[in-house]
C-alpha cells in the first residue's frame, strides 16, 4: 500500500471552492442590500424623510453583512489550517510502529506482536487465526500476571508449521484461580503502511485496517530487549513478556 499525498491538495481546493461559493453568495446579498439602501435614500419623500432610528438599524444591518463576510473568510482559513495539520500529523506516522486497540496484526519477518492487559493473575488461552483462511494457526495456554503483557508470535503453528506473512487475529480467554472468567483487552503493534488523505479526518492503515490518528496509544521501537516469562507449547511458538 502507498501513502496518498496528492489528495491533500484536492481537499484544500474543495475547501477553497466551498468558501469561495459562500463568499460570492454573501457578496451578492451585500451588494443587493447596498443598492436597496441607496435607492431608498435617493427616493425618499423630503417632507417625510426616513426615520433616524430606522436608518440606524439599516446601517447596523449593513455592518453585520460586512462582518459576516470577514468571519466566513477567517473560518475558512482556520478550517484549512486544521485540515493541513491533520494531514501532516497523519503522514508523519507512516513507517512507524504503533500500538492501537485491536486484535488483528501483520505477521512479518520479526513475527507478530500483540499486547494485552489482565486485571489480575490468570490462566490465559491464546488462539491465533489466519485472516485469509480462517484456520487456527496457533493455540497455547499461559499463566499471566496482572497488568500489561506483550505476546510475540514467530509464525510457527502448534504443529511446528511456518505460516506465511499476512494478517492474523488473536483472541484471549482467561480464568482466575477460581475458574471464573477474566476479561482481557487486546492491543496490536504494527507498522503504519499508509496515510489516506482522502478521508476526513485522514486515516492510517495499520495491519490492513484503517484508524484515525487519535486511536494511536503509543509509538514503539520494535525489537527492543525483553525478558521472557513464558513460551508457547514448548516449541517456542509464542513468547509473553
In tens, the pLDDT along 44-62 reads 777 676 666 776 776 677 6
N- to C-terminal Cα separation, the chain: 31
Decide if pLDDT at 24 tops 70.
no
> Is the Cβ–Cβ distance between 241 and 127 less than 8 Å?
no
Decide if pLDDT at 227 tops 90.
no
> Is the Cβ–Cβ distance between 189 and 149 less than 8 Å?
no
Question: What pTM does this model have?
Answer: 0.54
Least trusted range by pLDDT, from 6-15, 162-171, 219-228: 6-15
Instruction: Give per-residue burial for 68-105: e unless 16+ CB within 10 Å, then b.
Output: eeeeeeeebeeeeeebeebbebbbebbeebbbbebbbb
Q: How many CA atoms lie within 13 A of 136 on its CB side?
A: 9
Decide if pLDDT at 5 tops 70.
no
Q: Where in the chain are the domains? A: 7-93, 97-240
Cα Dmax for the chain = 106
Least trusted range by pLDDT, from 24-33, 57-66, 154-163, 225-234: 225-234
Q: How confident is the model at residue 19 (pLDDT cuts 50, 70, 90)?
A: low
Distance CA(178)–CA(181), nearest Å, equals 9
Which cell goes with 48?
A: 417625510
> Is the Cβ–Cβ distance between 68 and 161 less than 8 Å?
no
Which cell goes with 57?
A: 438599524
pLDDT (0 to 100) of residue 45: 72
Decide if pLDDT at 210 tops 70.
yes
pLDDT per residue over 49-97, tens digit each?
A: 666 677 677 667 767 766 777 777 778 788 777 777 777 888 888 989 8
Decide if pLDDT at 137 tops 70.
yes
Q: What is the mean pLDDT of residues 26-53?
A: 71
Q: Which architecture, in CATH terms, is 97-240?
A: Sandwich (2.60)
Q: How confident is the model at residue 232 (pLDDT cuts 50, 70, 90)?
A: very low
Which among 140, 137, 130 has a CA at the least distance from the CA of 166?
A: 130
Distance CA(69)–CA(71), nearest Å, equals 5
pLDDT per residue over 189-202, tens digit each?
A: 888 999 988 888 88
Neighbours of 235 (CB within 10 A): 15
Amino acid at each position: 500500500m502507498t501513502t496518498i499525498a496528492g489528495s491533500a491538495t484536492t481537499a484544500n481546493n474543495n475547501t477553497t471552492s466551498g468558501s469561495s461559493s459562500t463568499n460570492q453568495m454573501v457578496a451578492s446579498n451585500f451588494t443587493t442590500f447596498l443598492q436597496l439602501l441607496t435607492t431608498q435614500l435617493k427616493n425618499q419623500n423630503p417632507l417625510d424623510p426616513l426615520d433616524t432610528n430606522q436608518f440606524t438599524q439599516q446601517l447596523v444591518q449593513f455592518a453585520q453583512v460586512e462582518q459576516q463576510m470577514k468571519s466566513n473568510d477567517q473560518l475558512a482559513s482556520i478550517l484549512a489550517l486544521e485540515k493541513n495539520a491533520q494531514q501532516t500529523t497523519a503522514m508523519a506516522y507512516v513507517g512507524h510502529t504503533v500500538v492501537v486497540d485491536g486484535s488483528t496484526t501483520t505477521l512479518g519477518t520479526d513475527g507478530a506482536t500483540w499486547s494485552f492487559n489482565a486485571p489480575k493473575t490468570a490462566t490465559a488461552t491464546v488462539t491465533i487465526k489466519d485472516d485469509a483462511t480462517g484456520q487456527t494457526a496457533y493455540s497455547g495456554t499461559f499463566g499471566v500476571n496482572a497488568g500489561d503483557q506483550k505476546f510475540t508470535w514467530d509464525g510457527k503453528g502448534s504443529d511446528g508449521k511456518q505460516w506465511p506473512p499476512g494478517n492474523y487475529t488473536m483472541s484471549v480467554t482467561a480464568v482466575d484461580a477460581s475458574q471464573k472468567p477474566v476479561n482481557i483487552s487486546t492491543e496490536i503493534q504494527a507498522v503504519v503502511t499508509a496515510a489516506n488523505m482522502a478521508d476526513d479526518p485522514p486515516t492510517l492503515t495499520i495491519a490492513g485496517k484503517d484508524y484515525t490518528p487519535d486511536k494511536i496509544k503509543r509509538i514503539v521501537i520494535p525489537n527492543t530487549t525483553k525478558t521472557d516469562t513464558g513460551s508457547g507449547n514448548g516449541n517456542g511458538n509464542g513468547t509473553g513478556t
